[in-house]
Amino acid sequence: MEQIIRKIGLPTADRYGFLLLEGFTMMAFAAAIEPLRTANRHTESELYQFPLFTLDGVPGRASNNLTLSPVQPLSGKEPLDALFVCAGVDLHSVNPEHLRERLKPFIRRGVAIGGICTATYHLARAGLLDGYRCTVHWENIPDMHDEFPHLVVSSGLFELDRDRYTCSGGTAPMDMMLTLISQKHGRELSGRISEGMLCERIRDGSDRQRMPLRLRLGSSQPKLVEAVELMEANIEEPMTLDELATHVGISRRQLERLFQKHLQCVPTRYYLEIRLRRARELLLRTPRSIVDIAFACGFVSAPHFSKCYRDFFGIPPREERLPRVDGITSQPNRPKPPAATTKKTTTATLQPDSTL
């Protein structure tokens, strides 16, 4: 095993704070913090400190119902080099005005502000991404384009634009942190951290979040890929199969055979699923009315939309927005968990100096 070399004359540790919003995504948070901890371990030095904060000092509760402590209430006076906001699926877990006021002291001091997973959405609502390039989880990119048309929102894994660091979530925060470590301490260290985490490579910020259909199918089906891209680009006013076939330069029958062979469904069904999944994103992440969402996703009426939605997802659109209990939607036709059964929360105490 390669001997770990102790670095001599290391500078003062960089302090990367993490602000945990209610329901933050544990996976994205862990992917961000573990490279920092591992950097300390590999160099046997404190290159990074990573204090945890919440807005009120209460232990941060993740979307998986685990809580993290110890945390500190964010005062605005903390000596930080960067502050990363961590969020989850709830796009309304914090008031944007309140978040902006709490982050202002750091911005005035030139502290870099980061957003992990959907925290990009919160930073955008707070007006803290104006004039910056940013990214967010691919599920939220269409909503970002709709709500913030003035922002440049990329589909990359992460964006490092001056003093704004945004990341798409999932495992992408690990690549972002490894890139920051590489910029400060060299590629050799980031490479050793990557190897220790069994990462094949450190992905670049420009790498796309989703595997394009052309990669899944190879380069042998350009007509099918083109047809699907046309479907995804024309949701509000769906194209007919004849129009799709004409645009890609094949017959309607050839198009149907391609879909059946490679995607195991007819093109009309595939197109409908694209529109329904887009509708579900709008239902869960925006306050738009069901009628508005129906028209935005190419349905001629709300009743027709509701029928298609229920046939595909098993519940009507109006019940999709009902409060959820232990991950189950509260609906009249679905049994609720017994009243005596409550879900326990587990507190995880973060030890910055722990080892792998």
What span, in angstroms and rounded, lies between the C-alpha atoms of 176 and 166?
A: 9
Fold held by 14-209: Rossmann fold (3.40.50)
Task: Read off the pLDDT of each residue in 14-28 and give the average, rounded to a whole number.
Answer: 96
Question: Which CATH class name applies to 213-323?
Answer: mainly alpha
Per-residue confidence band for 95, with pLDDT thresholds at 50, 70 and 90:
very high
- Comparing 14-209 with 213-323, is the CATH topology the same? no
pLDDT digits (tens, 9 = 90+) for 253-289: 999 999 998 888 899 999 999 999 899 888 887 889 9
What span, in angstroms and rounded, lies between the C-alpha atoms of 187 and 285?
A: 39
Q: What is the pLDDT of residue 214?
A: 61
What span, in angstroms and rounded, lies between the C-alpha atoms of 183 and 15?
A: 16
Q: Answer positive or negative: Cα dihedral of 88, 283, 158, 164.
A: negative
Say whether pLDDT at 346 is over 50.
Answer: no
Report the relative pairing of strands 60-61 and 66-69 from DSSP bridges.
antiparallel
**Pick from 49-58, 89-98, 138-147, 221-230: least confident:** 138-147
Q: pTM higher than 0.85, yes or no?
A: no
Q: Spell out the domain ranges in the chain.
A: 14-209, 213-323
What span, in angstroms and rounded, lies between the C-alpha atoms of 155 and 146?
A: 15
pLDDT digits (tens, 9 = 90+) for 225-258: 889 989 988 999 999 999 999 999 999 999 999 9
